[in-house]
Amino acid sequence: MESESDSGAAADTPPLETLSFHGDEEIIEVVELDPSPPDPADDLAQEMEDVDFEEEEEEEEGNEEGWVLEPQEGVVGSMEGPDDSEVTFALHSASVFCVSLDPKTNTLAVTGGEDDKAFVWRLSDGELLFECAGHKDSVTCAGFSHDSTLVATGDMSGLLKVWQVDTKEEVWSFEAGDLEWMEWHPRAPVLLAGTADGNTWMWKVPNGDCKTFQGPNCPATCGRVLPDGKRAVVGHEDGTIRIWDLKQGNPVHVLKGTEGHQGPLTCVATNQDGSLILTGSVDCQAKLVSATTGKVVGVFRPETVASQPNLGEGEESESNSVESLGFCSVMPLAAVGYLDGTLAIYDLSTQTLRHQCQHQSGIVQLLWEAGTAVVYTCSLDGIVRLWDARTGRLLTDYRGHTAEILDFALSKDASLVVTTSGDHKAKVFCVQRPDR
């Protein structure tokens, strides 16, 4: 049980003077799903206009032999077989933990790995653009800003770095506590991160103006900025959930006790208009929360998952858990992926289980294809699968990794899937579907 002070106002740190989230205009669209650039008249963008970003330029460099079209020798795996990928990026020398695509053009990827390295490279041929050098621990978070002008990388020790893509120069860095998650604001050069001390940080980049949102004295394990750009939802290791007002610096809702989870949160997602939040935990529950009222409006658990009310410290490796979840953008459906390999598709209107799709091994992450009812999963068996959520049918799968997939990303037009793996590689798969 947390104390009242846990949900207090933001710490006394230098304010983000230029970051203002006015309540005069109601912003209801999910900006990140809109393929067009943000409207320059948007008040948030106007307030950030003092940061001058030049247009991204593609700079040609010689290929540094960081890509191959066939699997390289020397990586031993138990999943040898056909390689369906178009491009393999092989500059990492250890497991590759994270990948993100640039949202403006979807032509660039950034990957980070256990080798303490992060690279920005081109999807079409795997050509290295530049290395994000200087990390001192495994790079577990990486992502591009909303306009693709900046790329951020973060390592487990809490060192965050931001680079300007067109000049390939580092423009900002900060050392926070041990890093749990990192995410860019959907329409401004503002970076958020959660750390093991329970705090959520927000910086304006590159000038470094900072706000700190104080949580309970336990890790802020996951977080997501809501589509309106004014609020963020953060989950913690103690099972509590906080919805923060980013301008005021105070939590507008705190869910704890029976309203929260009975174990650490693992993932969080929002629907397209930001009215609903879905949270997942090692307690095997997915909770549907109203972003407006902060009330739990639904609780989902697959019928085959046994209850685990008390997770002992030594039981975690044998326990099932929610690993990933998300909302369909065209139907009232939600998908929940579990460590035991279950993909559960829920009907939100009736709050019932619609389909249960079984994988051979644990699901690592899932993503919905924009504008369709197709959900993509990647799993510990090294395979990407496409499922029709309307029927529960497996549409196709893509293979090529010789170890588990640890992260993946989907291009806006769903023509490319980019994966990272424990086999030290990132791969680009071309998605062929007969219906387009």
Q: Calculate the dihedral angle through the C-alpha atoms of 262, 268, 269, 270, rounding to the nearest 10 degrees.
A: 70
Q: Tell me what pLDDT residue 434 has.
A: 61
* DSSP designation for 31: G
Confidence bin at 319 (pLDDT 50/70/90): confident
Mean pLDDT over 340-360 rounds to: 96
pLDDT, residue 391, reads 97
Tokens 């809702």 correspond to what residue?
253
From 370, 379, 386, select the one nearest 433 (Cα to Cα). 386
The pLDDT of residue 267 is: 98
Residue 10 token pair? 């933001």
Task: Give me the mean pLDDT over the 52-72 stretch.
Answer: 40
Give the residues across from 325 on adjacent strands: 336
Three-state helix/strand/coil letters over 45-101: HHHCCCCCCCCCCCCCCCCCCCEECCCCCCCCCCCCCCCCCCEEECCCCCCEEEEEE
DSSP state of 369: P
What average pLDDT score do residues 34-42 get?
Answer: 45
pLDDT band at 318 (very low <50, low <70, confident <90, very high): low
The tokens for 409 are 């990303």
Tell me the pLDDT band of 432, cut-offs 50, 70 and 90.
confident
Q: Which of 6-10, 57-61, 382-386 has the lowest mean pLDDT?
A: 57-61
pLDDT tens figures, 93-128 = 999 999 999 999 999 999 999 999 999 999 999 999
Distance of CA 236 to the CA centre of its chain: 16
| pLDDT band, residue 425 (cuts 50/70/90) | very high
* pLDDT of amino acid 274: 96
- Average pLDDT of the segment spanning 238-246: 98
- pLDDT for 68 equals 45
Per residue in 392-420, pLDDT (tens digit) is: 999 999 999 999 999 999 999 999 999 99
Q: What was the pLDDT predicted at 23?
A: 40
Predicted confidence at residue 81, as pLDDT, reads 82
Reported as a single tens digit per residue, the pLDDT across 188-200 is 999 999 999 999 9
Q: Which domains does the chain have, with CATH numbers?
A: 319-399 (2.40.10.480)
